[in-house]
Amino acid sequence: MVVSRCFTMKSLKMFSVQRRGMHLLKDKAYINGEWVKATSNAVYPVQNPADDNVITELPDMDAADAKTAVDAAANTFKTWRDTTAKERSYILRKWFNLCEKHSDDLAAIITAEAGKPLAESKGEIAYGNSFLEWFADTARHINGEIIPSPWPNKQILLTRQPLGVVSVITPWNFPYAMITRKVGALMAAGCTCVIKPSEDTPLSALAAAELAEQAGVPKGVINVITSSRKNAPGVGKVLCEDENVGCISFTGSTFVGKILYGQAAKGIKRVALELGGNAPYIVFPSADIEHALDQAMLAKFRNNGQACIGANRFLIHEAVYDKFVEGFKSRIGKKCILGPGTKEGVTCGPLINKEQAKKVSGLVDDAVSKGAEALIGGKFAKELGDKFYESTLLVNVKPDMNIYNEEIFGPVASCLKISSEEEALKIANSTRSGLAAYVFTKDLGQAFRMSRQLEFGMVAINDGILSAAEPAFGGIKESGIGREGSLHGAEEYTDIKYTLMSALDK
């Protein structure tokens, strides 16, 4: 599909202006160390969600291109797996240093493709880079074990071996950090990869690949293929089913995660899945309410609510409910400044695309039609464009409303009143998602009880932000399989090899 008709004179002008500010902007995919077009020559447009201007066109690759990229990664794996941990650590650190040096350029690209306020894009680059730094260190600590043998004259060795080519499929909400978190880990372990970034936000992935090349990452270790949403299923099938692929590492919706898990099952492939969440944010009477409110702003409105660990259900104890709701409304009114991410002072950008905007407004409209009340927001800011939705606070939310059960993925805080710890736990756990949960309490026993009984992979006590390179990030139930960050994040990309050294007396 050739889409040059998408270029209006205005968008072409914007395109050249934006290009001047973004030295790392690429218009080709990256396979085996070469910047390449799609075999079919097809392209698709990448648009700025704030104004719909086309930033650039990229190759609209298909299954054949995916196969070429997997073959390149498989070929390079033969040599990359034998590099020393020290060499891999050195290269990762060089990549980290270059990404740090170019953080302003990288942030400008994220704001253009994802719409985030520039300050948040800079935050994402710092966060994303922290994984490269962490895995540069971790590469040298992926150790084996020597286990006391039950037999005389025999020795048991367990070593960790890289599991091969990893297919990396990532979403648009943290387009850079979701890549460094996976690629840093898999490279530390000695694997190679093919990355398929989101069709909406492929530009930061390509920029990261350019810096990897400059850092001396050998050709074929990192390959990036780009495709429109139309081609994603065909590309995804190859990335899951090709016999040279050892693992599928995916961050995205539970819906797509289940498709990929099914495809991976055909070849008994390893999976690392980081899927949707439905995080409860529970506030008990003993909590420092001002602190809980400040943290709620971060847990809900960071990235305009488009985060899998974003607070999705505010469960507020009746003793502090009115105070919390009043404080939340006033903070939203003062602190949520909607606008294009490039504008000074803006804290909330557009939603990523029309489908997402429709989903968020649909959830609010459904809730309001069934008796919920929007204390602030509850509608589009039409004067800014069709993807800008006002930061919203909903009360009187009930179980028959779609918003009660679904992941909102937008700037809408929905509040429920609870009257006991048991009720909080019952509501919080009544979901098939199990990614993150937040609890605010000063009662130490209650904090430990909640941590134990919440069916979530991650629990933050008295904090609204919990991710970093050091802890293990991941979910249970339908929120995923595997952990990212920490030493576990690198070990995900290894197999344990058991070697028996026998006949030591012969």
Residues 245-284, one symbol each (x = binds ligand ADP by CB under 6 A, - = not), give -------xx--x--xx------------------------
Among the listed residues 191, 308, 348, 415, the single catalytic one is 308
Based on the shown chain and the rule CB under 6 A, indicate whether residue 169 belongs to the binding site for ligand ADP.
Answer: yes
Phi, psi of 339 (to 5 degrees): 165, 180
Q: Report, in Å, the least distance between residue 445 CB and ligand ADP.
A: 38
Question: Based on CB atoms, which residue is closest to ligand ADP, 220 or 276?
Answer: 276
Query: Which residue is at the shortest CB distance from ligand ADP?
Result: 236
Residue ranges with strand state E in 163-309: 165-169, 192-196, 222-224, 245-251, 270-274, 279-283
CA–CA separation, 48 and 114 (whole Å): 7
What DSSP string describes 97-110?
HHHHHTHHHHHHHH
Q: How many residues sit close enough to ligand ADP to count as binding (CB under 6 A)?
A: 16
Hey, what amino acid is at 363? L
Q: Report, in Å, the least distance between residue 172 CB and ligand ADP.
A: 5
Hey, what amino acid is at 476? I
| Residue 190, token pair as written in the block | 């000695």
| Residue 114, token pair as written in the block | 């994802």
Best CA proximity match to 246, nearest among 170, 192, 294? 192
Based on the shown chain and the rule CB under 6 A, indicate whether residue 233 belongs to the binding site for ligand ADP.
Answer: yes
Q: Residue 418's beta-bridge partner residues? A: 317
Q: How many CB atoms lie within 10 A of CB 290?
A: 11
Report yes or no: 465 and 298 within 8 Å, Cβ to Cβ. Answer: yes
Tell me, yes or no, if 193 is annotated catalytic. Answer: no
Q: What is the 3-state secondary structure (H, E, C) of 393-448?
A: EEECCCCCCHHHHCCCCCCEEEEEEECCHHHHHHHHHCCCEECEEEEECCCHHHHH
Based on the shown chain and the rule CB under 6 A, indicate whether residue 438 belongs to the binding site for ligand ADP.
Answer: no
Q: How many CB atoms lie within 10 A of CB 84?
A: 11
CA–CA separation, 216 and 214 (whole Å): 5
Question: Based on CB atoms, which residue is closest to ligand ADP, 162 or 277?
Answer: 277
Question: Based on CB atoms, which residue is closest to ligand ADP, 232 or 381?
Answer: 232
Region of 78-86, 195-203, 342-350, 447-455 interacting with ligand ADP (CB under 6 A): 195-203
Hey, what amino acid is at 356? Q
Tell me, yes or no, if 308 is annotated catalytic. Answer: yes
Which residue among 232, 319, 427, 466 contacts ligand ADP (CB under 6 A)? 232
Based on the shown chain and the rule CB under 6 A, indicate whether residue 295 belongs to the binding site for ligand ADP.
Answer: no
Ranges within 333-352 binding ligand ADP (CB under 6 A): none
Give the single-character DSSP code of 218. P
Question: Based on CB atoms, which residue is closest to ligand ADP, 64 or 444?
Answer: 64
Residues 196-215, one symbol each (x = binds ligand ADP by CB under 6 A, - = not), give x-xx----------------
Region of 225-233, 297-305, 368-376, 470-478 interacting with ligand ADP (CB under 6 A): 225-233
Among the listed residues 57, 120, 213, 274, the single catalytic one is 274
Based on the shown chain and the rule CB under 6 A, indicate whether residue 241 belongs to the binding site for ligand ADP.
Answer: no
Q: CA end-to-end span of the chain, whole Å?
A: 69
What amino acid positions are annotated as catalytic residues? 274, 308
Residues that bind ligand ADP (CB under 6 A): 169-172, 196, 198-199, 229, 232-233, 236, 252-253, 256, 259-260
